[in-house]
Structures are given as structure tokens and as C-alpha cells.
Amino acid sequence: MERVYAFIDESGAFGWDLENPTVSTTLIISAVLVKESNLGTMMTEVERLRKRIFQTGEIKSSHIGQNHNRRKKS
């Protein structure tokens, strides 16, 4: 049986202070599952996208800010 890797990330608030109007009521959890046989290809493609869109550092939506054209860039 082939090993499968899970890459998981979250975005949003997880304080659950729903009475506080400044706290987001949205929490998004995403996962990408990759078979071990595809892991090298996936890592290469993610690095290619990171270099093209984010140049250096971590891939984070907050690094894009309100630049919606950059968010749409593929």
C-alpha cells in the first residue's frame, strides 16, 4: 500500500468569541493529499509557484494583502 501525505493548513479565527463583533466567525481548514509517488512532482510545482508569485518566504495570503490582481494571478 502506497503512503499518502496530508498537508493541512487553517485560516481564520479559532477563539470562538462569537459575541465579539471584531472576531471572525469563519474558520477554514484545508488539506491536500498526495501519494508518495507524486510527492517529488508536487514539491517541485509548489516551489515553482512560490517563486513566481511570492518570490521569497512562506506562501501566505496575508503577504498579498488587498492586491486582488495578485490574488488572481496563476
Distance between CA atoms of residues 42 and 48, nearest Å? 10
pLDDT at position 1? 93
Q: Which is nearest to 3 in space by CA: 32, 49, 35? A: 35
**How many alpha carbons lie under 13 Å from residue 6 in its C-beta half-sphere?**
5
**How many alpha carbons lie under 13 Å from residue 41 in its C-beta half-sphere?**
5
CB of 7 closer than 8 Å to CB of 34: yes
User: What is the pTM (predicted TM-score) of this model?
Assistant: 0.66
Low-confidence ranges of the chain (pLDDT < 70): 14-15, 63, 65, 67, 70-74
